[in-house]
Homo-oligomer: A and B are copies of this chain.
Amino acid sequence: MERDVNIEEVGLRDGLQSVDNFFPTELKKAWLTAEYEAGVPEMQVCSFVPEKLIPQFKDASEIVAHALTHPGLRVSCYIPNLRGAENAFKAGVHVAGNVISASEGHNQSNVRKSVAESVEVFKQIVELRNSNNDWKSIRLCGGIATSFGCTIEGPVDPTAVERLAAMYVEAGADELSIADTVGYANPAQVRDLFTRLTPVAGDVPLSAHFHDTRGLGLANVVGALEAGVRDFDACLGGLGGCPFAPGATGNIVTEDLVFMLESMGLKTGVDLDKLLEAREILVNNLPNEPLRSAIAQAKTPIGFAPASA
């Protein structure tokens, strides 16, 4: 199946990160397998953080091991620092994603480092990856948080995002993820920023990570599509949010994103019916979490003809 757009499910990381109760390992595995069977090509399956900071991810290595049993699945994870990177590499992930905020204030609040200091950590992660032949195929993704605005600093200058993108590329990032961490973006801003970043990124692929805090998540996807972006993060049921961004609701909803893209004639390779079945795992096992999805509620239109069918 050739895909026009690649969707990365981030619910097992970004979604579960805001869920206080430990979601049982067996249910995480079932969720992962169900989405794999629906055709989702890539998943961010955990975060390699100390268990005492976020107990939700204490089974990170076991989840990665399970993910790696699914042929063709691109297995990614979040790494906050060098220690996390080493654990992720040992676990055998295909992609490890680090995040630095374009906003100094947000980065300080988040990791108590300046942007430049965080880039130095990323360089150490690149060196660590390069130091071991077994790890050389692991791709490192540079995430840029608060690319469209920040709850601490307000507007974020696009040149700050360009600058950080350039620093990431120079440091050896294999991919870049441009994130609207707190749901501030609008479609025109999205189109403009990705258009600006395209020459900065060069051969390094750009992906988009949107939150739906102000209802513009899917509208922002349309803006990003206009700028040529073809890689989007999304979260089944819109689960979760950013613990460092007060009031931020979850990521854009995977099932609604698939519905929109497939309706637009863009192949995602994802079977929407199977994806909605996978969703039931969350519905049945996270009764206290507010799950969203317009398409789960309204059902697909009569005569719906997905592009991937």
The tally of residues in A whose CB lies under 8 Å from a CB in B reads 43
Chain B residues with CB below 8 A from A294, complex form: 212-216
Instruction: Kindly identify which residue among B183, B187, B218, B259 contacts A264, using a CB–CB cutoff of 8 Å.
Output: B187
By the criterion CB–CB under 8 Å, are B298 and A260 in contact? Answer: no
Binds B, one of A6-14, A118-126, A149-157: A149-157
Instruction: Kindly identify which residue among B219, B221, B295, B302 contacts A221, using a CB–CB cutoff of 8 Å.
Output: B219
By the criterion CB–CB under 8 Å, are B301 and A184 in contact? Answer: yes
CB-nearest residue of chain B relative to A188? B264
Task: Check A260/B154 contact, CB under 8 A, given A214-B298, A219-B222, A303-B149.
Answer: no
Distance in angstroms from A57 CB to nearest chain B CB is 27
Task: Check A215/B295 contact, CB under 8 A, given A186-B264, A187-B222, A189-B264.
Answer: yes
Cα distance, A189 to B262, chains bound together (Å): 12
Task: Check A214/B295 contact, CB under 8 A, given A222-B219, A222-B222.
Answer: yes
Those of A72-129 within 8 Å (CB) of chain B: none
Question: Does A237 sit within 8 A of B, measured CB to CB?
Answer: no
Task: Check A298/B218 contact, CB under 8 A, given A149-B303, A303-B154.
Answer: no
By the criterion CB–CB under 8 Å, are A298 and B151 in contact? Answer: no
Chain B residues with CB below 8 A from A221, complex form: 219
Distance in angstroms from A306 CB to nearest chain B CB is 11
Cα distance, A188 to B215, chains bound together (Å): 19
Cα distance, A299 to B248, chains bound together (Å): 11
16 contacts between A and B (CB under 8 A): A151-B302, A154-B302, A184-B301, A186-B264, A187-B264, A188-B266, A189-B263, A212-B294, A215-B259, A216-B218, A216-B263, A218-B219, A219-B219, A219-B260, A222-B222, A226-B226
Further 9 A-B residue pairs, CB within 8 A, beyond A155-B303, A187-B222: A149-B303, A153-B302, A184-B301, A186-B263, A189-B264, A215-B218, A215-B253, A218-B218, A222-B222
**Which residues on A are within 8 Å of B, measured CB to CB?**
149-151, 153-155, 182-184, 186-189, 212-216, 218-219, 221-223, 226, 247, 249, 253, 256, 259-260, 263-266, 293-295, 298-299, 301-303, 305
